[in-house]
Amino acid sequence: MAKNIEIKARVNNFDRLKKNVERLSDAPAEILQQEDTFFNTQKGRLKLRIFAAARGELIFYQREDRQGPKSSFYLISRTDAPEALRAALEGALGIRGIVKKTRLVYHIGQTRVHLDEVAGLGQFIELEVVLHHDQSEEEGEKIAHDLMQQLGIHERDLISNAYVDMLKKDDFPH
């Protein structure tokens, strides 16, 4: 499985954060419309990410639900028939929830930076430090902390759960 170090945080000033990310980014943003269907699983999370009628990815991942940098182990399988795959998985596992978002994807060194507008939740940033095979989790955490500081991401804004979990909580502030 591939591994990265992730953080997720609520965004208070999207325009200012976007300018900071663009200043540090290696290239302009890629703009993606994503619909993630999460399925019931006994361990980890399984989601089908649909980009278009003939383009999707089935993603299995495991990560702790805690604030701050954390390890994420994942597997990705691409599909050109996402709707058929969704129907099969829904029949076998049942749907846990659906998350719709607009995502701006930037790259800063070995870190994928996502600026997300999530339907029903608001604006967020995710940092995914993609670890090289010979790189320790501690090195990835240091990169994440350094980038958090450069971008002005505060510890108080960090969140621990996946978007699908937040959509299911009645008490999450919108």
Q: Is the CB of residue 99 less than 8 Å from the CB of residue 38? A: yes
Could you list the pLDDT tens digit for every one of the 174 residues in the chain?
788 999 999 999 999 999 999 999 989 999 999 999 999 999 999 999 999 999 999 999 999 888 888 899 999 999 999 999 999 999 999 999 999 999 999 999 999 999 999 999 999 999 999 999 999 999 999 999 999 999 999 999 999 989 999 997 644 443
DSSP state of 149: H
Beta strand ranges found along the chain (DSSP E): 2-10, 30-39, 45-52, 55-63, 70-79, 95-108, 111-118, 122-130
pTM confidence score: 0.89
For CA atoms 139, 58, 33, 28, the dihedral sign is positive
Domains and CATH numbers, the chain: 2-168 (2.40.320.10)
Nearest-Å Rg of the Cα atoms of the chain is 16
CA separation for the pair 117, 26 (Å, rounded)? 22
